[in-house]
Amino acid sequence: MSIFTIFIIIFSFAIIVIGTINTLRVKTPDSFFVADRNSGALSTGGSLTATIIGGSSTLGMAGLAFSRGITGAWWLLVGALGLFFLFFFVKKIKQYRVYTLPELLGNWYGETVRKAASVLIAFAWLGIVGAQAAAAGRLISTFFPGSVSFWILLSGAVFILYTMAGGQISVIKTDMVQTALIVTGIVAAAFLGLSRAGWLGGLYEKLKPSYFSFPITNSFTFKDLTVLILVVGTTYLIGPDMISRIFCSRTVKTSKRGIAVSILIIIPMAFIIALIGIEAKALFPGISGEAAFPVIIKEVLPPVLGALTMTALLSAFLSSADTTLLTLSAIVSIDIFGIKKNKILIYRLTVLISGIFALIIGIYSGGIIPSLLLGYSVFSGGLAVPIIAALAGKPISKPAAMASILTGGTIALAGKLLSNNALILAAFGITIIILLIDSFIRLKNSVQKKI
């Protein structure tokens, strides 16, 4: 039995035990969805970080750096920017004792908008949960025989059962440990990969100068960065999984401290993960981008450290997958089907069904980053303007909010499916125009009333 197999067995066993132990503690929706709203600053920060550094920020982002260089770090850096702005809206969010982002939208814009937003988010988040499962499957398939689809299903089964059993209580309790594992594994892989490549001098000799250009290059332009800020950065500001961490926190102060902790971790991690992708390009130029991180683990790290790092990556996928799956199932059960009573069994069944659909999407998706961008584009394109306007204390009218959701979401989806960044930008532009027209109409009506 290889060291990798031993670590996988121990990790899976520990996850199942933790979920089982916490099953008996989950008796109310507060326990299942928001961990009794009792998360401290470190727990909030650790959970945010563990949620953020998932498949997209490890395999996916290392793959971006493999393809284009250090600018791949922007995937996480725009996330840090989004979290920075979230810091200023915490007090507004904590005013409401709700479970989901659509419930917030319902308070601001009414039930019709809440339902429309719920369907939009559920559609987007199915792809995001599927991408996390796909990342785990691709990682495991690097070390063990069997098809990627088989490992996606098996790893997906583990995180679905774990999430069903312990809910948010299990997630919050384990995320701090998982964050420590993730950071340790990433730093170790980057350091030993750099040593194997001949340090920075060796990288400069083997790769084009464009790999070290920052903040933009010929292959990653200012327009690309703008799209990334709008599509990905806004999900860290208004994303339902990010806001769910605020719901779980004890107070406004603990939320803010947790956000600060997360920002301080993910900024250096952005560059370190990008460095791993660059190292893989120098050492193994013939592999695929999304294989960059697993190959570094397998070929560069000593067996025990490699097994630890692989376990750390699996922790990253689990942390992101369980949070996004809980978020998705809360929206499906509470907002779409209106299950508001203490129905823990139904909530668990919703996790199971949502997880199965997400796994199917993960198996047939076109890769980690494409799947995530598809979900993020639909979500941000339709909901960014109505949510940010409400958080800023100036919600738009209900018809304008509905128009933003339908028009922005549809155009952003078309832009992503057609790989057309101009259409994605147009989606945001149109929702801003809707905001401006709505503001003008309300100002005009206000003036007329005074006259």
The amino acid at 21 = I
The pTM for the full model equals 0.89
Please report the pLDDT score of residue 339 as a whole number. Answer: 84
> Alpha helices of 198-232 — where are they, by DSSP H?
199-206, 222-228
Which residues pair with residue 249 across a beta bridge? 39
With contact defined as beta carbons under 8 Å apart, do 82 and 233 qualify? yes
Please report the pLDDT score of residue 451 as a whole number. Answer: 64
Q: Which CATH number fits domain 3-368: 1.20.1730.10, 3.30.420.40, 2.130.10.10, 3.40.50.720?
A: 1.20.1730.10
Please report the pLDDT score of residue 314 as a whole number. Answer: 82
Q: In the chain, what are the domain boundaries?
A: 3-368
The amino acid at 417 = L
Rounded Cα distance, 393 and 391, in Å: 5
Alpha-carbon distance values, 201 to 277, 282, 284 (Å): 16, 11, 17
The helix (run of H) or strand (run of E) holding residue 372 is: helix 368-391
3-class secondary structure, 337: coil
Please report the pLDDT score of residue 55 as a whole number. Answer: 66
**Residues near 99 by beta carbon (within 8 Å), at least 6 away in sequence:** 29, 33, 34, 247, 330, 334
**Residues near 250 by beta carbon (within 8 Å), at least 6 away in sequence:** 37, 38, 39, 40
**CA 142 centroid distance within chain:** 23
Alpha-carbon distance values, 202 to 58, 94, 139 (Å): 23, 50, 27
Output the six-digit token pair for 388.
Answer: 């940010």
Rounded Cα distance, 187 and 442, in Å: 53
Report the C-alpha dihedral over residues 439, 96, 241, 342, rounded to 10 degrees.
-130
Q: Of 430, 245, 219, 389, nearest to 327 (Cα)?
A: 245
Please report the pLDDT score of residue 12 as a whole number. Answer: 75
Report the C-alpha dihedral over residues 58, 60, 66, 69, rounded to 10 degrees.
-80
Q: Of 371, 342, 348, 373, nearest to 359 (Cα)?
A: 371
Per-residue pLDDT of the chain (451 residues; tens, 9 = 90+): 578 888 878 877 777 777 777 777 788 888 889 989 999 999 899 889 988 887 667 888 999 999 999 999 999 999 999 999 999 999 999 999 999 999 999 999 999 999 999 999 998 888 888 888 888 888 888 888 888 889 889 888 888 888 888 888 878 877 887 788 888 889 999 999 999 999 999 999 999 999 999 999 988 999 999 999 999 999 999 999 999 999 999 999 999 999 999 999 999 999 999 999 999 999 999 998 888 999 999 899 888 888 888 888 887 777 788 888 999 999 999 999 988 777 888 999 999 999 999 998 888 876 677 778 788 888 999 999 999 999 999 899 999 999 999 999 999 989 888 878 888 889 999 999 999 999 998 888 877 776 6
Please report the pLDDT score of residue 1 as a whole number. Answer: 56
Tokens 């101009």 correspond to what residue? 422
3-class secondary structure, 40: coil
Rounded Cα distance, 377 and 313, in Å: 25
pLDDT tens digits, residue range 93-134? 999 999 999 999 999 999 999 999 999 999 888 888 888 888
Q: Of 303, 298, 311, 294, nearest to 3 (Cα)?
A: 303
* CA 50-55-58 angle, 5° bins: 85
- Report the length, in residues, of the chain: 451
Rounded Cα distance, 230 and 322, in Å: 25
With contact defined as beta carbons under 8 Å apart, do 372 and 410 qualify? no
Alpha-carbon distance values, 118 to 30, 105, 128, 330, 397 (Å): 20, 9, 15, 10, 18
Long-range Cβ contact pairs of 412-415 (< 8 A, separation 24 or more) = 412/231, 412/377, 412/378, 412/380, 412/381, 412/382, 413/374, 413/377, 413/378, 413/381, 415/377, 415/381
